Chains A and B, each alone.
Chain A
């Protein structure tokens, strides 16, 4: 039962353009959502999060949008840079889940010159 889904395994974007990574979830008990970035042979690095009481959170070039009715969130990176090339994981948790996060399968972003 895949409660967090990232349906695009890969995405290629030109440098300077916008990257949009998508994530869908099924569990209505999730009340916060996070994005992690992962380089090969390294651990995931926390990028940005959003609480279910918000629909948008922005941090520099990164913005996360949450559509609760659609159970959908997205990460926008603008402008995209070559150093953004990595695997991006969406993760979700809830106050009733004892700090356990449920991760999606990841989207590999390639930013080309």
Chain B
């Protein structure tokens, strides 16, 4: 029973390139959440998705960032034209229902470094 799978674990991109981060939720989980952790900070909510729907994207920067969770396949967080300030750990979590008070299950994260 695999947990939340994120890949790649580490991603290095030059300024101006695109970064694609993938997240496969736990089996049976249809709700996906993306969080970002900047150095020495807590996790900050970015976006909450269900299959083919964005439910809450209030934490997403208005430009360059987008997320999707298609009917088939993993959820993708896409960052276009990356800048140094995008360097962070990006965590995906999943849950079987929209009740985070039971505690999501997080993946191990993707560490993005922009050089």
Using a CB–CB distance below 8 Å, which chain A residues touch chain B? 4, 6, 32, 34, 36, 41-46, 49, 51, 89, 91, 93, 98-106
Q: What separation, in Å, do the CA atoms of A4 and B44 have in the docked complex?
A: 11
In the complex, the number of residue pairs spanning A and B with C-beta atoms less than 8 Å apart equals 70
Q: Are A103 and B59 in contact (CB under 8 A)?
A: no
B69 at interface (Cβ–Cβ under 8 A)? no
Using a CB–CB distance below 8 Å, which chain B residues touch chain A? 4, 6, 31, 33, 35, 40-45, 48, 55-56, 58-59, 91, 93, 95, 98-109
Partner of A99, one of B6, B33, B42, B59: B33
Partner of A98, one of B43, B48, B105: B48
Q: Are A43 and B108 in contact (CB under 8 A)?
A: yes
The 9 closest A-B pairs by CB, nearest first: A46-B103, A43-B106, A32-B101, A103-B42, A99-B100, A103-B43, A98-B56, A105-B42, A100-B45
